[in-house]
Amino acid sequence: MTQREPATDDATVPTPGIGDQFPALTVETSMGERTLPDDYEGQWLVLFSHPGDFTPVCTSEFVAFEQRREEFEELNAELLGLSVDRVHSHIKWTEWIRDNLDVDIQFPIVADDQGAVAERLGMLHPGAGTATVRSVFVLDPDGVVRLRLTYPMEIGRNIDEVLRSLRALQTSDADGVAAPADWPNNETFGDRVLLSPPGTEADAEARKAEVADREDTDYYDWWFVTREQ
């Protein structure tokens, strides 16, 4: 297994943030070696860490992710778990889930038993030794970080929110629009999307004329216009 050494200087090796290229990492998983992000080129990747195998909240999360896996795949997205457990622990844990909860985990889990990947990605839980926080990285098909979420050890993730965010990112990329709060179930605007605000005074002046007669838009002001998907 080849992994980057743990970062020793945050100023030199910063944790990847939104808009950054995900660092090149070769990792061992429960389904063989993976090279990140290259092995997922052309696909979206949802990389999520958990504090440890054989723990109740993590088990509930992995069951939930697997139960929604086909929805991720329909969005051209692959799932990849991670914790600082060894690969044989991952294998035994997924066997336990299959035998006791009748759910067959069909996505790989990174075995980061030295903690190098978790430290590189800022996943280590403060004050909890080598345990990883519940981080989520969403990478686009070019390996760019598009979303980061972090949950504490005590709270399981909302899989609906991960899927919602993925759909919103893909809609934004495809149509050059933004998604309002709670999209696509916003209490005021429903599943309508938002046009990006104009960048110049001239564009702001022209905005109303451009959208006033369009049936698919609602004009509130030059900086606030909604549109049907």
Which residues are known catalytic residues?
Answer: 58
Q: Fill in the DSSP letter of residue 131.
A: P
3-state secondary structure of 160: helix
Q: How far apart are the first and last CA of the chain?
A: 45
| Burial degree of 192 (CB within 10 A; 0-12, 13-18, 19+) | buried
The dihedral sign for the CA sequence 8, 11, 13, 19: positive
Check residue 216 and report its DSSP letter.
T
How is residue 11 written in tokens?
Answer: 């100023």
H or E element in which residue 49 lies: strand 44-49
Beta strand pairing call for 25-29 and 224-227: unpaired
Residue 145 contacts residue 16 (beta carbons within 8 Å):
yes
Asked if residues 131 and 51 have their Cβ atoms less than 8 Å apart, the reply is: yes
Letter for the amino acid at 180? P
- DSSP element (H, E) containing 178: strand 177-178
